């Protein structure tokens, strides 16, 4: 191990200690130590990324979006790391009694500052020729991404623990850097993607349906089911992760169903919510069954992006309580979202069946040496997917249909005020005619 | 015919944490409202630990299924050891993210 590697390990260990517990970093009260450590960490990330991956940088105009991240993850991360972190201001006036964990937290930040400065110094003083380049640079990019991601977690902890919420403004920075760094870490850890461009769909097709408010959840869930059904390839691990993440959405919706609606429907709704929670539990079984399986092909990224948008959208609306309040006002959206959520299991089951049939999912062989063979059609994952699909069909029949919204086409007779129609029917013969027309009038002709 | 997939060895402490998390994820006894959030949490933490390329070999699933509350102390211990033991920065920070997620879920 080189001196730089040892210094980097010290930095990572200290960062890991702090990131492992959200209460550690946030108890700090020494703004100088906190800000110097955060700045040192940010500068180390920038310097190393610039040195090992200069060719990856493309200037991104404006605020980077999800499509930029899918196509130029390193550039997006570099752009987000481009500015210094917002300064940490712990308190308008310091309390007289020390806060619990304050000394330990300040010490943690001091140690992190020292470790980041030493690692930066070692890197800067190293011979540029000795630095990793080409294929070898990916491991360093993965390290930078992992450290940037952990640094972003600490920023979010500081913002969350801020007594007067002054830090809330830079929580967004933390989320953005964490998402971009996570993407880069995965990309870098999987090595160079030689044929990346042809494998990725066109940018417009990468764009998931946004969840801006509660009434956009149903279209996003419907899009998820459609994307999963049409996905080119999904590994068993990804399929399982999608199923388990979707289970969380189903659970949220079940909670909202039980807690809202007319009191007369309370018992029925609670029963239905219990069945939905059971559905969520069975979705987790798909993830469990997929754990030992592998696949060689790269995943279609669109289902994960759509799922990210759904979960992120729900998070933006708020905690489970806020989601329930939003649905209380809008039962049509809740019932619509439930119907759309139940379309996921059949889509997933069909996709799993197709993957198994085409021999693209592999299971470990039973032998001394680890080998892999095609998953058999009666494998536990196939059974789990089938069961959850059947359950979804049954549940879908029990969900009340949402009432038509104002967007539905309304016939003129529905729009015109009733008194007007009654008046016309009750009115006598038109004053322009001498008498009411009779059949005889028409038969006679002019 | 057996197919070869490149895998990387799973570090001891990570393997121990994964085995306990798998036990919690497989737990299907007990009331649904208790076990569902715990199974989801265990699966999420497991996903963080297994997010590596090349992948680890299949994890140990021989531990009997237990609720996450019972498995958590062993997972915390194993992940704390993974942070302090020697290893690449990415591995330590992955263990930290997993540990953080577990602590948040258990709060």
Segment A262-273 shows an average pLDDT of: 91
Segment A304-312 shows an average pLDDT of: 93
Which residues of chain B does A247 touch, with a Cβ-Cβ cutoff of 8 Å?
36, 40
* pLDDT attached to residue A415: 52
Q: Is omega for the bond preceding B54 within 30 degrees of 0, making it cis?
A: yes
Q: Enter the tokens of residue A285.
A: 């079984």
Cβ distance of A20 and B95 shorter than 8 Å: yes
Kindly provide the ipTM of the predicted complex, given to two decimals: 0.94
Q: How many CB atoms lie within 10 A of CB A28?
A: 28
Out of B51, B59, B80, the one facing A291 most closely (by C-beta) is B59
* pLDDT attached to residue A414: 52
Residue B17 forms part of a structural domain: yes
Q: Are B49 and B91 in contact (CB under 8 A)?
A: no
Digit-coded pLDDT (tens) for A81-115: 888 888 877 655 555 666 677 889 999 999 999 99
- Which of B35, B39, B92, B105 is best to mutate for the A interface (most A CBs within 10 A)? B92
How far is the alpha carbon of B34 from chain A, nearest alpha carbon, in Å?
11
Cβ distance of B3 and A362 shorter than 8 Å: yes
Kind and range of the H or E run holding A372: strand A372-374
Digit-coded pLDDT (tens) for A356-415: 999 999 999 987 788 999 999 999 999 999 999 999 999 999 987 766 554 555 555 555
How far is the alpha carbon of B13 from chain A, nearest alpha carbon, in Å?
15
Cβ distance of B1 and A251 shorter than 8 Å: no
How far is the alpha carbon of A113 from chain B, nearest alpha carbon, in Å?
17
Percent of chain A predicted with pLDDT > 70? 79
Alpha helices in A161-319 (DSSP H): 171-189, 196-199, 203-206, 217-230, 236-259, 266-290, 302-317
Kind and range of the H or E run holding A363: strand A362-364
Q: Round to whole Å and give the CA distance between A121 and A115.
A: 10
* pLDDT attached to residue B58: 95
* pLDDT attached to residue A201: 47
Strand partners, A374: A362
Q: Enter the tokens of residue B54.
A: 């090349």
Cα dihedral value A397, A400, A405, A410, nearest 10: 70
Segment A195-211 shows an average pLDDT of: 57
Is 70 exceeded by the pLDDT of residue A202? Answer: no
Q: Round to whole Å and give the CA distance between A276 and A413.
A: 40
How far is the alpha carbon of B88 from chain A, nearest alpha carbon, in Å?
7
Segment A178-192 shows an average pLDDT of: 81
Q: Round to whole Å and give the CA distance between A254 and A252.
A: 5
Based on the structure, what is the number of domains in chain B? 1
Cβ distance of B93 and A150 shorter than 8 Å: yes
pLDDT-based confidence at A292, cuts 50/70/90?
very high
Out of B7, B47, B89, the one facing A8 most closely (by C-beta) is B89
How far is the alpha carbon of A371 from chain B, nearest alpha carbon, in Å?
5
Q: Enter the tokens of residue A96.
A: 């007289």
- Which of B36, B37, B58, B85 is best to mutate for the A interface (most A CBs within 10 A)? B36
Owner of token pair 């349906």: A209
Is 80 exceeded by the pLDDT of residue A219? Answer: yes
Segment A119-135 shows an average pLDDT of: 86
Q: What's the whole-model pTM score?
A: 0.81
Handedness of CA A228, A231, A237, A241 (dihedral sign): negative
Q: What is the total residue count of chain A?
A: 446
Cβ distance of A21 and B100 shorter than 8 Å: yes
Better pLDDT: A68 or A243: A243
Residue B52 forms part of a structural domain: yes
* pLDDT attached to residue B99: 97
Digit-coded pLDDT (tens) for B53-97: 889 999 999 999 999 999 999 999 999 999 999 899 999 999 999
* pLDDT attached to residue A261: 86
pLDDT-based confidence at B43, cuts 50/70/90?
very high
A136 touches chain B (CB under 8 A): no
Nearest residue in chain B measured CA to CA from A146: B90
Digit-coded pLDDT (tens) for A22-54: 888 888 888 889 999 999 999 999 999 999 887
Cβ distance of A15 and B96 shorter than 8 Å: yes
Q: Are A147 and A39 in contact (CB under 8 A)?
A: no
Q: Round to whole Å and give the CA distance between A1 and B89.
A: 13
Residue B2 forms part of a structural domain: no
Nearest residue in chain A measured CA to CA from B87: A9
DSSP string, A65-83: -HHHHHH-HHHHHHHHTTS
* pLDDT attached to residue A196: 41
> Between the ranges A70-84, A100-114, A170-184, where is the mean pLDDT highest?
A100-114
Better pLDDT: A19 or A321: A19
Is 70 exceeded by the pLDDT of residue A439? Answer: no
pLDDT-based confidence at B4, cuts 50/70/90?
confident
Please choose, from the candidates A82, A384, A65, A60, the residue with its C-alpha nearest in 3D space to the C-alpha of residue A247: A384
Is 80 exceeded by the pLDDT of residue A68? Answer: no
Is 90 exceeded by the pLDDT of residue A262? Answer: no
Cβ distance of B4 and A142 shorter than 8 Å: no
* pLDDT attached to residue A445: 37
The domain of B70 spans 12-106
Across all residues in chain A, what is the average pLDDT? 83
Please choose, from the candidates A165, A164, A140, A142, the residue with its C-alpha nearest in 3D space to the C-alpha of residue A5: A140
* pLDDT attached to residue A111: 96
Segment A346-365 shows an average pLDDT of: 95
Q: Round to whole Å and give the CA distance between B13 and B11.
A: 6
A132 touches chain B (CB under 8 A): no
Which residues of chain A does B26 touch, with a Cβ-Cβ cutoff of 8 Å?
288
A375 touches chain B (CB under 8 A): no
A179 touches chain B (CB under 8 A): no
How far is the alpha carbon of B54 from chain A, nearest alpha carbon, in Å?
7
Residue B7 forms part of a structural domain: no
Is 70 exceeded by the pLDDT of residue A214? Answer: yes
Q: Quick check: helix, strand or coil at residue B3? A: strand
Residue B84 forms part of a structural domain: yes
- Which of A9, A16, A115, A250 is best to mutate for the B interface (most B CBs within 10 A)? A16
Those of residues 33-92 in B touching chain A at CB distance below 8 A are 33, 35-37, 39-40, 43-44, 46-47, 50-53, 55, 57-59, 61, 79-80, 83-84, 86-90, 92
Residue B1 forms part of a structural domain: no
Q: Round to whole Å and give the CA distance between A233 and A296.
A: 10
* pLDDT attached to residue A115: 96
Is 90 exceeded by the pLDDT of residue A270? Answer: yes
Q: Round to whole Å and give the CA distance between A282 and A61.
A: 45
Q: Round to whole Å and give the CA distance between B6 and A69.
A: 28
Q: Round to whole Å and give the CA distance between A116 and A39.
A: 9
Using CB atoms within 10 Å of the CB of residue A282, give its burial: 0 to 12 exposed, 13 to 18 middle, 19+ buried: buried
Domain positions in chain A: 3-199, 208-398
* pLDDT attached to residue B47: 96
* pLDDT attached to residue B90: 93
B8 touches chain A (CB under 8 A): no
Distance of CA A445 to the CA centre of its chain: 74
Using CB atoms within 10 Å of the CB of residue B66, give its burial: 0 to 12 exposed, 13 to 18 middle, 19+ buried: middle
Digit-coded pLDDT (tens) for A223-244: 999 999 999 899 999 999 999 9
B12 touches chain A (CB under 8 A): no
Q: Are A249 and A310 in contact (CB under 8 A)?
A: yes
* pLDDT attached to residue A329: 85
Out of A19, A362, A373, the one facing B93 most closely (by C-beta) is A19
* pLDDT attached to residue A92: 53
* pLDDT attached to residue A258: 94
Percent of chain A predicted with pLDDT > 90? 49
Is 70 exceeded by the pLDDT of residue A440? Answer: no
Start-to-end C-alpha separation, chain B: 48
Segment A311-317 shows an average pLDDT of: 91
């Amino acid at each position: 191990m080189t001196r730089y590697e040892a210094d980097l390990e010290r930095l990572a260990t200290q960062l890991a200690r702090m990131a492992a517990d959200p209460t550690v970093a946030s108890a700090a009260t020494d703004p100088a130590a906190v800000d110097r450590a955060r700045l040192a960490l940010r500068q180390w990330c920038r310097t190393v990324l610039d040195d090992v991956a200069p060719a990856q940088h493309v200037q991104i105009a404006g605020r980077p979006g999800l499509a930029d991240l899918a196509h130029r993850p390193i550039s997006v991360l570099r752009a987000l790391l481009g500015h210094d972190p917002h300064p940490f201001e712990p308190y308008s006036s310091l309390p007289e009694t020390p806060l619990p964990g304050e000394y330990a937290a300040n010490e943690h930040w001091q140690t992190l500052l020292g470790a980041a400065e030493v690692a930066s110094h070692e890197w800067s003083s190293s011979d540029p020729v000795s630095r990793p380049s080409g294929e070898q640079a990916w491991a360093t990019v993965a390290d930078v991404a992992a450290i940037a991601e952990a640094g972003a977690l600490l920023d979010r902890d500081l913002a969350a623990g801020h007594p007067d919420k002054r830090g809330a403004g830079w929580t967004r920075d933390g989320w953005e850097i964490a998402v971009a760094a996570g993407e880069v870490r995965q990309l870098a850890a999987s090595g160079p993607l030689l044929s990346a461009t042809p494998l990725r769909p066109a940018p417009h097709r990468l764009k998931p349906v946004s969840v801006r408010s509660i009434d956009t959840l149903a279209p996003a869930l419907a899009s998820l089911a459609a994307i999963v059904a049409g996905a080119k390839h999904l590994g068993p691990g990804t399929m399982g992760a999608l199923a388990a993440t979707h289970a969380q959405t189903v659970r949220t919706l079940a909670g909202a169903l039980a807690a809202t609606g007319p009191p007369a429907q309370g018992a029925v709704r609670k029963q239905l919510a219990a069945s939905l929670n059971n559905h969520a539990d069975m979705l987790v079984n798909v993830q469990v069954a997929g754990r030992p399986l592998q696949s060689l092909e790269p995943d279609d990224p669109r289902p994960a992006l759509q799922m990210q948008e759904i979960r992120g959208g729900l998070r933006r609306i708020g905690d489970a309580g806020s989601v329930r309040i939003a649905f209380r006002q809008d039962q049509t959206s809740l019932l619509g979202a439930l119907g759309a959520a139940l379309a996921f299991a059949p889509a997933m089951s069909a996709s799993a069946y197709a993957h198994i049939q085409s021999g693209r999912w592999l299971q470990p062989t039973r032998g001394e040496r680890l080998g892999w063979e095609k998953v058999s059609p009666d494998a536990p994952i196939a059974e789990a997917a089938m069961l959850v699909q059947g359950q979804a069909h049954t549940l879908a029949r029990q969900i009340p249909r949402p009432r038509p919204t104002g967007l539905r086409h309304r016939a003129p007779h529905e729009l015109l005020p009733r008194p007007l129609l009654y008046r016309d029917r009750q009115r006598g013969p038109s004053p322009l005619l001498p008498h009411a027309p009779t059949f005889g009038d028409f038969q006679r002709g002019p | 015919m057996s197919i070869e997939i490149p895998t990387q060895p799973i570090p001891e402490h990570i393997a121990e944490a994964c085995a306990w998390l798998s036990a919690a994820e497989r737990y299907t006894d007990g009331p649904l409202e208790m076990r569902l959030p715990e199974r989801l949490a265990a699966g999420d933490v497991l996903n963080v630990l297994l997010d590596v390329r090349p992948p680890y070999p299949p994890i140990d699933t021989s531990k009997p299924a237990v609720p996450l509350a019972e498995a958590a102390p062993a997972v915390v211990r194993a992940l704390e050891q993974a942070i302090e033991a020697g290893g690449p920065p990415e591995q330590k920070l992955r263990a930290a993210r997993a540990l953080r997620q577990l602590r948040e879920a258990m709060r």
